């Protein structure tokens, strides 16, 4: 289906970049989780670990001019769209040098410079924003594309159906990316979603695709094709990505056997991990050696440790900022 466009990514540099970005997400999350467990992070956060191939496969098909909207489980999207560790950790810790000067935190992290319009703590809350960004692109004759990330749980929100209807009527350059990680908070998706998820988009005449969200190449190949078509005015599109979240709904959701088994978690981690799979593929294809990838991992871990240390020492915003930015000048 997408042989021609996939060629662009079949080179060492782009494979290494996708691998690097996935490891950067996993490493970021491991550090964020540790900050929570050590009671060094205010509030709580939602781990993206396990879903890395989704964010990276899609965002590697985008440019900085393309936009995304993210979710409460948004660190992965933020890293994949190009964000910097230091400003991200600073934001998670409520520090002045955070992307949002500490005012947003984990659930509202945004990085406008790379086209990330922000995470959103209302499930499904950004579907209108993504669609509006696409309408703006069309009205202004710009060829950028907007990707709306949301989870399977958000398919239960009516807003999705309102905006997909308008996106289809107006041929907007938006891609609805449904990350189906199997759980709507603490409930199995099959208990909250009747029928087929892709059929929801197809009902509006939107081309819908289902892809293995643990296979970064499959995700990237499909994304490149759809982004290119959306730029030409053939949008909108819908992708359902089958994936899995390794942690609970949030970092404090530790005892979760009442809704999913440890065996199931073990199976996904052991047999379908997106990083392990892609790493094996790269080694077998001779793109990188185990030693080279180990060195790459170690470098990322060092970056993360340095960024965490930096953020822990960084300044909090001055208290005079509390009523700053309520209104734009």
**Binding footprint of another protein on the chain (CB under 8 A):** 67, 69, 98-104, 108, 110, 112, 117-118, 120, 122, 125-137, 139-140, 146, 158-159, 162-163, 165-166, 169, 324-329
Cβ nearer to another protein, comparing 159 with 312: 159
Spatial distance between the Cα atoms of 55 and 46, rounded to a whole number of angstroms: 15
Q: Which residue lies nearer to another protein by CB, 115 or 274?
A: 115
Displacement of CA 182 from its chain's centroid (Å): 16
Minimum distance, C-beta of residue 115 to another protein, in the bound complex (Å): 9
Q: In the complex, what is the shortest distance from the CB of residue 71 to another protein, in angstroms, rounded to a whole number?
A: 14
Pick between residue 37 and residue 324 the one whose CB is nearest to another protein. 324
Task: Indicate the residue among 130 and 230 with the shorter CB distance to another protein.
Answer: 130
Q: Which is nearer to another protein, 69 or 71 (CB)?
A: 69
Contact between 317 and 102 (Cβ < 8 Å): yes
Both tokens of 27, joined, read 């490493």
First to last CA, the chain: 49
Q: How far is the CB of 100 from another protein (least distance, A)?
A: 4
221 vs 216: CA distance, rounded Å: 8
d(CA 126, CA 148): 7
Least gap, CB of 324 to another protein (angstroms): 7
Shortest spacing between CB 201 and another protein, in angstroms: 15
Q: Nearer to another protein by C-beta: 18 or 93?
A: 93
What are the angstrom distances between the C-alpha of 13 and each of 3, 10, 51, 280, 306?
18, 9, 22, 16, 25
Closest approach of another protein to the CB of residue 138, in Å: 9
Nearer to another protein, 1 or 328 (CB): 328
Residue 240 structure tokens: 């359902």
Q: How far is the CB of 180 from another protein (least distance, A)?
A: 22
Q: Which runs of E-coded beta strand occur in the chain?
A: 67-69, 146-151, 174-180, 183-184, 187-188, 207-212, 237-242
Q: In this complex, which beta carbon is closest to another protein, that of residue 23 or of residue 110?
A: 110
CB of 237 to another protein, least distance (A): 17
- Environment class of residue 183 by beta-carbon count within 10 Å: exposed (0-12), middle (13-18) or buried (19+)? buried
SS (H, E, C) 97-158: CCCCCCCCCHHHCCEHHHCECCCCCCCCCCHHHHHHHHHHHHHCCCCCCEEEEEEHHHHHCH
CB of 103 vs another protein, minimal distance in Å: 5
* Longest distance between any two alpha carbons in the chain, whole Å: 56
Output 110 or 241, the one with its CB closest to another protein: 110
Compute CA distances 252 → 39, 45, 46, 249, whole Å.
11, 8, 9, 8
Count of all residues that appear for the chain in the document: 329
DSSP state of 315: P
């Amino acid at each position: 289906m997408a042989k021609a466009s996939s060629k662009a990514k079949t080179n060492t540099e782009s494979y290494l970049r996708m691998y690097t970005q996935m490891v950067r997400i996993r490493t970021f999350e491991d550090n964020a989780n540790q900050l929570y467990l050590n009671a060094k992070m205010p509030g709580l956060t939602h781990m993206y670990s396990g879903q890395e191939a989704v964010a990276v496969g899609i965002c590697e098909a985008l440019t900085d001019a393309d936009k995304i909207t993210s979710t409460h489980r948004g660190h992965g999207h933020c890293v994949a769209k190009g964000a910097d560790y230091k400003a991200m950790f600073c934001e998670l810790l409520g520090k002045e040098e955070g992307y949002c000067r500490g005012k947003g935190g984990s659930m509202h992290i945004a990085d406008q410079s790379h086209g990330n319009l922000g995470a959103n703590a209302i499930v499904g809350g950004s579907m209108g924003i993504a669609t509006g960004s696409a309408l703006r692109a069309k009205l202004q004759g710009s060829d950028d594309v907007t990707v709306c990330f949301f989870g399977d749980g958000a398919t239960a929100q009516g807003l999705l159906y309102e905006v997909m209807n308008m996106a289809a009527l107006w041929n907007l350059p938006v891609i609805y990316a449904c990350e189906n990680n199997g759980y709507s908070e603490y409930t199995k998706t099959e208990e909250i979603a009747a029928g087929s998820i892709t059929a929801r988009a197809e009902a509006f005449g939107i081309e819908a695709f289902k892809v293995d969200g643990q296979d970064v190449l499959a995700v990237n190949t499909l994304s490149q094709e759809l982004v290119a078509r959306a730029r030409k005015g053939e949008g909108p599109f819908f992708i359902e990505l089958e994936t899995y979240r390794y942690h609970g709904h949030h970092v404090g959701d530790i005892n979760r056997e009442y809704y999913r088994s440890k065996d199931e978690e073990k199976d996904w981690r052991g047999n379908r991990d997106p990083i392990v799979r892609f790493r094996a593929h790269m080694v077998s294809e001779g793109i990188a050696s185990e030693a080279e990838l180990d060195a790459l991992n170690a470098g990322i871990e060092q970056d993360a440790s340095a960024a965490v240390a930096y953020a822990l020492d960084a300044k909090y915003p001055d208290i005079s900022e509390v009523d700053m930015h309520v209104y734009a000048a």
